[in-house]
Structure 1
Amino acid sequence: MMAETKNLKRFYNSVIPSDWATPEFGDIFKFLRTFSFSREQLTNNPTNDGIRNIHYGDIHATYENEILDLDIEMTVPYLLDGIIQPTSFDEDCFPALKDGDLIIADASEDYLGVCDCVELKNLNGTKVVSGLHTFAARSSDDKIALGYRTYSLKHEQVIRELRRIATGTSVYGVSKSNLSNVRIPLPPISEQKSIAKVLSTADAAIHATEKLIAQKELRKKWLTQQLFTGKKRLKGFEEEWKQVPLSEMFSERNETKYFDLPLLSIGQNGVYPQDESVKKDTSNEDKSKYKRICLGDIGYNTMRMWQGRSALSGLEGIVSPAYTVVTPKKNADSLFFSYLFKMPKMTNLFWRNSQGLVDDTLNCKFKDFSIVKVMLPQSKEEQTAIAQVLQSADKEISLLKAKAEKLREQKKGLMQKLLTGKVRLKIND
């Protein structure tokens, strides 16, 4: 149950409920020992019971939720064996981190990441250390509830204060002493627990959706491998596959001087208008050599085809001369080939057929592309059927990703209301 806030008091440049405390961070948390291990000292494949290491960069980029649940998050790296002995942990001088401890990034390349933090959960005996450019902080249950601790730094005015006190030019940081002096808003313990429970429920919904996405992506990967090798055949298709050069399936479109067509960009996932790109427009003012690309064509980066830099076009426009544009013949379904060209076996074939001394100078021009041989269904209908199966899988994954994003936005809305006290949870005593 929720209720509107009535009695308020000042907190920085905002207001909070009058019964909330505003202690300094250092009055609630004490700092623990941290380490500065480099990426070279980490591994994802420990040989023994490893010691996990939380790196500041992962807090910014990898761990999306405020609660780092080690039962769920499997990407936390380990220290290489022998760097720290598990027996070295000592409760007085070298305490092992435990549930409820915070790991805070003390450095960021932009203001947005200043003092990003996660709260540890479900360590279950796993040894964890706080790594490069981080603070580790601990509190007691009578001061701040488990599951709420990470949110003590998520109030909009606290974030603003942290950015204000951050120092640096290309990298921004906050010292322990400055962080200790930052005031944080704390509801009564019972309300903290209720807020933590609500946000934990939101996290569970997000995780369940992300888990489903991962399952669907694995299924699509399996389907792709089975369907493109002919190990799995769709109902109604029994003809033997045939090895043919790509010259039998595609011709090159090398049409220029289409000045009236819009400029397009080709990315890993599609063809889109240049003015919708987040990248700076570096195209030449003289576009007389820019190539026309049409609906159903496939454009690829001539120097990066071996890295899977190709995409099916749903638009008509012009693209940089750095791209090769191929158009399907009557016996080729371009959607089918857009999936096929991303497969590791195909990118390896493009690499082998590219011309150049080193990877950075390799070129897969149409003459090189056209001689690549591949096993294919003899009928365009089977190509189309395979492409439609994979397209359906993609749509299902896209819908789930949209749902996960909507759940994340809903959680942000809840945080905005609950962590500021704009909406209060009714506590049942």
Structure 2
Amino acid sequence: MIKAEQNSKKFYNRKIPRDWSTPDFGDVFNFLKTFSFSRDQLTRETTNDKIRNIHYGDIHSTYENEILDLDIEQTVPYLLDGIIDPKCFDDESFPALKEGDLIIADASEDYMGVCDCVELKNINGAKIVSGLHTFAARATDGKIAIGYRTYSLQHEQVIRELRRIATGTSVYGVSKTNLSKVKIALPPLPEQKAIAKVLSTADAAIHTTEKLVAQKELCKKWLMQQLLTGKKRLKGFGGEWKEVPLSEMFSERNETKYFDLPLLSIGQNGVYPQDESIKKDTSNDDKSKYKRIRKGDIGYNTMRMWQGRSALSELEGIVSPAYTVVTPKKNADSLFFSYLFKMPKMTNLFWRNSQGLVDDTLNCKYKDFSIVRVVLPQTKEEQTAIAQILKAADLEIGLLKAKAEKLRVQKKGLMQQLLTGKKRLI
């Protein structure tokens, strides 16, 4: 115990290895000029001469890794033509971003996102600027390794300090002056490089899994386009598909006053208990008009069916009167229809059959839903066979997503050990 104390020193409210330095952020990084381009000035269209713009909103919500690898990340937007002359990048004084630069969000709607940060990797000559509500910071040569720089703001005590000094009410921020005074914990350079390599390996595993997810999702989309339209038929099934109104496949369930059943929410991807929702419970105390939904029913947002806001229920409960609940007849496999109702052709039909003057007031009540005509297999058995193939694709995607999330949790665990010196690599 005494030896451990001798080999450590205080860093905020914790201990770090004695051979680690604790400089101020401003002693290691210099701030660069940033720009204030709005979303309206950005585009996803690419050309060789386009200028990429790092926006604070993307740092918070789009870029999942601390390292923003331009060889991997395809969502970084571009500035519209004419906003900045690309020739400006030939001037060494122009604040173009380079390999290893940090882009830090200087505004957040909650404390969790205060000073969210990414480090640029694999720029490969791309033209990049730091955009709205960001700080751009460049490291002093020789003080901090490329690949470790973003993690200097990821130490648990640094994060707490950043949240402590953040100011604001609905939006929280940290000034450059205050950020420059925040102490960071730096291992010796060889150890920084070793930590960066380990965490880079973790990022690579996450990326490989996420790439598989994207491939499987594209495969599922192709299967839906082929199987749900009859372009591709499954072995053992024949005969022409026929067009029928949805009234032949579903009836409306309009049962109310089931006060003993749990409150459920209907989202884009499923039906789930309200207490598991991240959304605030805005339901009325009076549940007398809330509708019963049972396993196998499909519930949809009456005003948003044309946006694909429907889901198959695996639960029994009650849902808001804002939803319409339909229950399958004997000739309908509701799992098949839960996939069919997400198809662009179907959502367009629901839009055309909804009542209202503008999109925000459109309603697709059961009477409107029931007259929509769809082309379907002649037998329920073929519906079921198609649905099971798509369900298997969903299960595979779900397993891969769970693997990616597990890898992200493991990486966070590694960061807790490595960035605090609890586990030493050198």
1:260 aligned residue: 260
Q: Which moved more, 1:357-366 or 1:384-393?
A: 357-366
Give the distance between the partners of 1:60 and 1:95, measured in 2 at CA: 23
1:141 and 1:401 mapped to 2: Cα distance? 39
After superposition, what is the alpha-carbon deviation per residue over 1:274-322, rounded to whole angstroms, capped at 9, x for unaligned?
2322333332333232222111111111121111111111112222222
Residue 119 of structure 1 corresponds to: 119
SS of alignment partner, residue 137 of structure 2? strand
- Aligned-partner SS, 1:261: coil
CA distance in 2, matches of 1:326, 1:369: 10
CA contact (8 A) 1:5 1:424 kept: no
CA contact (8 A) 1:5 1:423 kept: no
Identify the residue that residue 230 of structure 1 maps to in structure 2. 230
Amino acid at match of 2:58: D
Aligned pairs for 1:323-342 within 5 A: 323-342=323-342
Q: Distance in 1 between matches of 2:231 and 2:118?
A: 45
Structure 2 partner of 1:251:
251
Report the 3-state secondary structure (helix = DSSP H, G, I; strand = E; otherwise coil) of the residue aligned with 2:395. helix
Q: Is the CA contact (8 Å cut-off) linking 1:46 and 1:81 kept in structure 2?
A: no
CA apart distance, 1:201: 0.3
Structure 2: how far apart are the matches of 1:68 and 1:425? 24
What code does the residue aligned with 1:204 have?
Answer: A
| Cα distance in 1 for residues equivalent to 2:280 and 2:132 | 33
Q: 1: distance between equivalents of 2:354 and 2:155?
A: 54
For 2:218 and 2:289, how far apart are their aligned partners in 1?
A: 41
Unaligned runs of 5+ in 1: none
Tell me, in whole angstroms, the C-alpha distance in 2 between the residues paired with 1:364 and 1:22: 62
Deviation larger for 278-287 or 153-162 = 278-287
- 2:80 is matched with 80
Give the whole-Å Cα distance in 2 for the aligned partners of 1:96 and 1:258. 62
CA separation of 1:227/1:156 partners in 2, compared to 1, >3 Å: closer, same or farther?
Answer: same
Give the match's secondary structure for 1:68: strand
Give the Å deviation of 1:48. 4.8
State the one-letter code of the partner of 2:295. Answer: L
Tell me the residue number matched to 1:173: 173
What is the distance in 2 between the residues matched to 1:412 and 1:51?
32
Matches within 5 A, 1:276-287: 276-287=276-287
SS at match of 1:108: coil
Deviation at 1:257, TM superposition (A): 2.4
Distance 2:73 2:124 in 1: 13
Does structure 2 conserve the Cα–Cα contact (< 8 Å) formed by 1:417 and 1:423? yes
* 352-361 vs 398-407, which moves further: 352-361
2:271 counterpart SS class: strand
Distance 2:22 2:387 in 1: 59
> What is the alpha-carbon distance in structure 2 between the residues aligned to residue 281 and residue 30 of structure 1?
46
C-alpha displacement at 1:273, in angstroms?
2.0
Q: Name the aligned partner's letter for residue 60 of structure 1.
A: H
* Identity among equivalent pairs (%): 84
Show the 5 A alignment for 1:18-33: 18-33=18-33
Aligned partners of 1:6 and 1:337: how far apart in 2? 67
C-alpha root-mean-square deviation of aligned residues, in Å? 1.5
Mapped contact 2:34–2:95 kept (Cα < 8 A): no
Aligned match of 1:214: 214
Structure 1 distance, partners of 2:207, 2:199, is: 12
Residue segments in structure 2 that go unaligned for 5+ positions in a row: none
CA–CA distance in 1 between the matches of 2:38 and 2:281?
36
| Maintained 8 Å contact 2:95/2:129 | no
- Give the distance between the partners of 1:56 and 1:199, measured in 2 at CA: 23
2:89 is aligned to 89
> 2:43 matched to which residue of 1?
43
1:4-403 counterparts in 2 under 5 A?
7-90=7-90, 92-403=92-403
Segment of structure 1 superposing worse, 64-73 or 102-111? 102-111
Q: Give the counterpart letter for 2:49 in structure 1.
A: D
Q: Secondary structure at the match of 1:326?
A: strand
- 1:268 and 1:309 in contact (8 A); partners too: yes
Residue 339 of structure 2 contacts residue 387 of structure 2 at CA under 8 Å; is this kept in 1? Answer: yes
Question: What whole-Å deviation, never above 9, does each CA across 1:376-424 have from its counterpart, x for those lacking one?
Answer: 0011011001100100000000000100000000000000000000110
Deviations 1:52-84 (A, max 9, x none): 000111111111100000000000000111111
Q: Distance in 2 between matches of 1:284 and 1:169?
A: 29
User: What is the CA–CA distance in structure 1 between the aligned matches of 2:212 and 2:6, rounded to whole Å?
Assistant: 41
| In structure 2, C-alpha distance between the alignment counterparts of 1:158 and 1:316, rounded to whole Å | 46
The amino acid that maps onto 1:23 is P
Distance in 2, matches of 1:109 and 1:282, equals 21
Give the SS at the match of 1:244. strand
Tell me the SS of whatever aligns to 1:424: coil
- Structure 1 segments, 4+ long, off by >3 Å, are none
Conservation of the 8 A alpha-carbon contact between 2:30 and 2:140: no
Deviates more, 1:249-258 or 1:149-158: 249-258
How far residue 196 of structure 1 moved from its aligned partner, in angstroms, is 0.3
Deviation at 1:258, TM superposition (A): 2.3
| Secondary structure class of the residue paired with 1:216 | helix
